[in-house]
Amino acid sequence: MKLGARMMKTGLAVGIALYISNLFGFMSPLLAAIAVVFSIQPSIYRSYQSIIEQVQGNTIGALIAVVAVFTLGNDPFIVGFAIIIVIGLTTKLKMNENTIALAVVAVIALMDTTDQTFLYFAFSRFSSMMLGILAAFIVNLVFLPPRYETRLFKQIDLATTDILQWLRVTTRQLSDEPALKYEITRIQDNVRWIDHTYLLYSEERTYFKGSRFSKGRKLVLFRQLITTTKKSFDVLKAFYRLDSKIEQIPDEFQDAVVGELDKLVNAHEKLVLSLKGRIKKTHKQSLRKVEDPDIPLLVDRLMTVYETTNNPDKLVFLPLASQLMEYHYQLEKLKRLLNSYQTHQQDDYIKTTEK
């Protein structure tokens, strides 16, 4: 089992909340720990949003609980009625599920039966929950702050490497079908995580003008990297679906497909390596010409071959032609963006490790 940063921060924040609660004699340390669990967030920006919203939600729950106790009492059905009101109000205010759940916990905790003065009892429990929210925010802010830029590029790099390796194998009809089917499902899940990480990275705030410009360029570049990776994945899925029909293509044209796709894969790899700082800024012109793919010409040849044949299955290759053209277009767009980025951010390479 791999221990993630969020798991460690949750445990640390719970420990801190319990320790402070016991140190200062809070009546309900357990409530502070519960509030921590609902308050830990994956990013500093979301943690800042969360503390504001959860303070509001907790306050709404506490106020409704106090009003309900003083006007109607704390009968179990009254508690249920107060919970309905809190859920309806917080949902109307478009608060997230964790905030709503914490507000419900506040109602249940404050409307519990007690022999103490109710206001003192309610304030003590409310304070315990606020302590938990504050402990979660401080831990999220200070300890193990997430580095989503490095994490995002590492995920893109690994997914791209897997896809391009499978493209090389599949185009030569060497791939094992069950293994490829499993890998396509796994890569699809990885792509979803990439989108999630990109969202977290885009939410991170920068407070200096120069950093904002740099962050903006990286966001555009990462978005295009993800789009290009997805298009290469679409090409892989197209080859997987056509695996049993590839043999219908003339041998001469099959060799052309393999050759041109190899150039496309090499160009994609070269762009990713360039972003890592592993490619020379200047290289021989002749080498560049050899590596440049000519996908439009390949697609034209594919259309010509199947316009002159009466094979009823010839239309199944049109999606492949479309995917190849789109992949080539996105790759050219990535090349232009990368050149622009490296012009403005010289020697600012993206790392794949957090060291």
Share of the chain above pLDDT 90, in %: 22
Q: Residue 355 domain-assigned?
A: no
263 with 128, same domain: the answer is no
Residues 301, 304: Cα–Cα separation, whole Å: 5
pLDDT at 224 over 90: yes
Give the pLDDT of residue 321.
74
Structural domain boundaries, residue 50: 5-142
Digit-coded pLDDT (tens) for 12-70: 889 999 999 888 888 888 889 988 888 888 777 778 878 888 889 989 999 999 999 98
| pTM of the predicted protein model | 0.72
Assign 209 a pLDDT band (cuts: 50, 70, 90).
low
Q: Last residue of a domain, which of 125, 142, 159?
A: 142
Q: Residue 353 domain-assigned?
A: no
Residues 243, 261: Cα–Cα separation, whole Å: 16
Assign 175 a pLDDT band (cuts: 50, 70, 90).
confident
DSSP string, 112-150: S--SS-HHHHHHHHHHHHHHHHHHHHHHHHHSS---HHH
Cα separations in angstroms, 68 against 83, 115, 182:
10, 18, 56
Q: Residue 350 domain-assigned?
A: no
Q: What is the mean pLDDT of the chain?
A: 81
124 with 233, same domain: the answer is no
Tallying the residues shown for the chain, one arrives at 355
Residue that wins the pLDDT comparison between 168 and 351: 168
Q: Residue 301 domain-assigned?
A: yes
Q: Last residue of a domain, which of 92, 108, 142?
A: 142
Q: Could you tell me which residues come within 8 angstroms of residue 135 by beta carbon, excluding any fewer than 6 positions away?
A: 13, 16, 17, 20, 32, 36
62 with 135, same domain: the answer is yes
Residue that wins the pLDDT comparison between 339 and 251: 339
22 with 120, same domain: the answer is yes
Q: Residue 354 domain-assigned?
A: no
**Other C-beta atoms lying within 10 Å of the C-beta of residue 24:** 10
69-73, 125-129, 159-163: which has the highest mean pLDDT? 159-163
The mean pLDDT value for 214-227 works out to 89
Give the pLDDT of residue 245.
66
The mean pLDDT value for 129-150 works out to 83
Q: Residue 124 domain-assigned?
A: yes
161 with 131, same domain: the answer is no
100 with 177, same domain: the answer is no
134 with 153, same domain: the answer is no
Is the Cα dihedral 212, 218, 219, 221 positive or negative?
Answer: positive
Residue that wins the pLDDT comparison between 351 and 75: 75
Assign 9 a pLDDT band (cuts: 50, 70, 90).
confident
Tokens, residue 229:
């990776």
Give the pLDDT of residue 286.
40
Q: State how many domains the chain has.
A: 2
Q: Last residue of a domain, which of 142, 169, 199?
A: 142
pLDDT at 314 over 60: no
Assign 311 a pLDDT band (cuts: 50, 70, 90).
low
Instruction: Give the residue carrying structure tokens 């669990």.
Output: 37
pLDDT at 344 over 90: no
87 with 230, same domain: the answer is no
Cα separations in angstroms, 242 against 74, 182, 237, 289, 300:
67, 17, 9, 30, 19
Q: Residue 272 domain-assigned?
A: yes
Say which CATH number the domain at 232 has: 1.20.58.220
Share of the chain above pLDDT 70, in %: 80
157 with 84, same domain: the answer is no
pLDDT at 204 over 90: no
Cα separations in angstroms, 127 against 23, 44, 55, 99, 281:
14, 23, 11, 16, 59
The mean pLDDT value for 191-200 works out to 91
The mean pLDDT value for 139-145 works out to 77
94 with 122, same domain: the answer is yes
155 with 208, same domain: the answer is yes
Digit-coded pLDDT (tens) for 262-300: 888 888 988 888 888 777 665 554 434 435 666 777 767
127 with 177, same domain: the answer is no
